[in-house]
Amino acid sequence: MKIVLMLIGVMVLSRLPAWAKPPPPVESVEIRKEGLWVNGEPFFAVGIGWVAHWHFRLPEAGEKGFNCVVTSGLRADPQTFRADIDDAYANGMYALASLSNGVWQDLERVEQIVIACRDAPGLLVWELEDEPNHPNNPYRIPPEKFKPVYDLIKRLDPVHPVWLNLACGRLKDHQDYRDVADIHSDDVYPVPHSPLAHVAQYSDRVVEGAAGKPGWMWVQMAPLHGDYLNEDDRAPTMTEVRCMTYMAVAHGISGVAYFSFHYNGEHNGEAWEWWVDETAPAYWAQWADLTTELRCLAPYLLAPEVPGELEAEIIEGSKEPANFGYTALHLSLRQTDSGYFLIAVNGFNSPIKALFTVPVPVSGIAPHAAVRFENRLVEVAEGVFEDSFAPYAVHLYELPFAVDGTQRETISWPRWQRRARR
């Protein structure tokens, strides 16, 4: 009997998520041209929505490797905002503390919330109202309405930036709201009815409209068209999610959040709910791979871009612009201390082959590029190489600068560390 009970206990415990350790306490958040630096280190936001208060899935999200999450307290109690931030932090994530649903309108309440939370080790940014520009003409909440609360937050808490998410991907909207937020974002959910290049289009408008301020993007995670019980509606595949994510980054986005862990809708009068861990467990199991690589690549994804130096040609497959004027390839060449990092995304649902030419520095380029997370190399000759892309494929190339062997430091190892001669 004891053995049976023990086996049942093991089975139950094996279904519980692992406990994610809290990250380093937030001591400083610096806004640079390339994105956020937290405690002096580059930070690429890998966030998730509809998982905290009222959803109670913070352990699951933390275990899957998300590094930040939208939190919200109860309107009447500032301490609940602090509790939600602390809960996110205890589960391994920083908090994107939301003052939406009209909370931002009560300046006295906002002051109480900010004072209660500004020293929380897990607080990353403050969020104002979601999609205030939607619908347009006129704006639901015009930008001037946010100026008093933005100024109040900046005065009470100069450490943590203010984030504002808009909708519809309109350049003018981001320009209009530019002065009431330190970080801009937009949301775009194309699957299954629109081309994935919608993400590139929206990302370009966020980056241009924010004009030097960091741009983030909400990327689709769930079926979001309110008709999930209809076979025409679905969540994106993991291949589509990865394509949309790196497409946004290739267009200048420096942080992403995924919408969403939970979603609900109605079909022919019948209500439905979608929970990623319960409704699509095999899909959910793949998320740790993506969150891990995004967090690992933060220094590369926030590295400065090499302007106007990259050449690319599609040598097989569709070459013509489509889908809002974009060709299949979405590219960004970044420079690190040791070489280049090339983000290359095939935004079409068809295979292509491409030829790339990167600028060759005086020191030269190494003869091979490593394709991150694919365990392979591609040959590079004088900065030129080619590669094939499956539909919606992403390739991440690390191209080291050549090293002059004569300049390497000579190390005199202790005798006990030397390899024995044969």
pLDDT 10s digits, 304-329: 999 888 999 999 999 999 889 999 99
Residues 317, 296 within the same domain: no
Higher pLDDT, 103 or 229: 103
Residue 7 CB partners (closer than 8 Å, separation 6+): none
Q: Please give the pLDDT value at position 323.
A: 83
d(CA 248, CA 204): 8
Binning pLDDT at 50, 70 and 90, where does residue 415 land? low
SS3 379: strand
Q: Please give the pLDDT value at position 406.
A: 47
Over residues 131-148, the pLDDT tens digits come to 999 988 799 999 999 999
Residues 96, 215 within the same domain: yes
267 has pLDDT over 50: yes
Residues 106, 71 within the same domain: yes
168 has pLDDT over 80: yes
Binning pLDDT at 50, 70 and 90, where does residue 54 land? confident
Helix ranges (H only) for 298-422 are 298-301
Residues 267, 384 within the same domain: no
Residue 306 domain-assigned? no
**CATH code of 154's domain:** 3.20.20.80
Residue 227's closest CA among 275, 192, 182? 192
Residues 260, 159 within the same domain: yes
Q: Report the Cα 301 to chain-centroid distance in Å.
A: 10
User: C-alpha distances in angstroms, 90 versus 25, 80, 122, 123?
Assistant: 11, 15, 8, 12
Binning pLDDT at 50, 70 and 90, where does residue 8 land? very low
Domain containing residue 316:
311-402
Helices (H) and strands (E) in the chain, counts: 12, 21
**Final residue of a structural domain among 275, 301, 327:** 301
Residue 4 domain-assigned? no
**CATH code of 371's domain:** 2.60.40.1180
Residues 208, 279 within the same domain: yes
Range 235-251 average pLDDT: 98
Residue 272 domain-assigned? yes
d(CA 422, CA 413): 18
Residues 339, 233 within the same domain: no
Mean pLDDT of all residues belonging to the chain: 91
Residue 137 domain-assigned? yes
DSSP letter, residue 143: G
Q: Please give the pLDDT value at position 6.
A: 46
Residues 97, 151 within the same domain: yes
SS3 109: helix
SS3 278: helix
Domain count, the chain: 2
Find the farthest-apart pair of alpha carbons in the chain and give their distance in angstroms, rounded. Answer: 83
Residues 295, 326 within the same domain: no
Q: Report the Cα 274 to chain-centroid distance in Å.
A: 22
76 backbone dihedrals φ, ψ, rounded to 5°: -85, -10
Residues 271, 324 within the same domain: no
Residue 27 domain-assigned? yes
Higher pLDDT, 264 or 96: 96
Binning pLDDT at 50, 70 and 90, where does residue 183 land? very high
Residue 5 domain-assigned? no
Residues 27, 120 within the same domain: yes
Q: Please give the pLDDT value at position 22.
A: 94
Give residue for tokens 């030829």: 355
Residue 159 domain-assigned? yes
Q: Please give the pLDDT value at position 7.
A: 45
Q: Report the Cα 208 to chain-centroid distance in Å.
A: 18
Q: Please give the pLDDT value at position 268.
A: 82
- Element spanning 312, H or E: strand 311-316
414 has pLDDT over 90: no
Choose the weakest-confidence range: 7-21, 119-133, 162-176, 305-319.
Answer: 7-21
Residue 204 domain-assigned? yes
Residues 272, 356 within the same domain: no
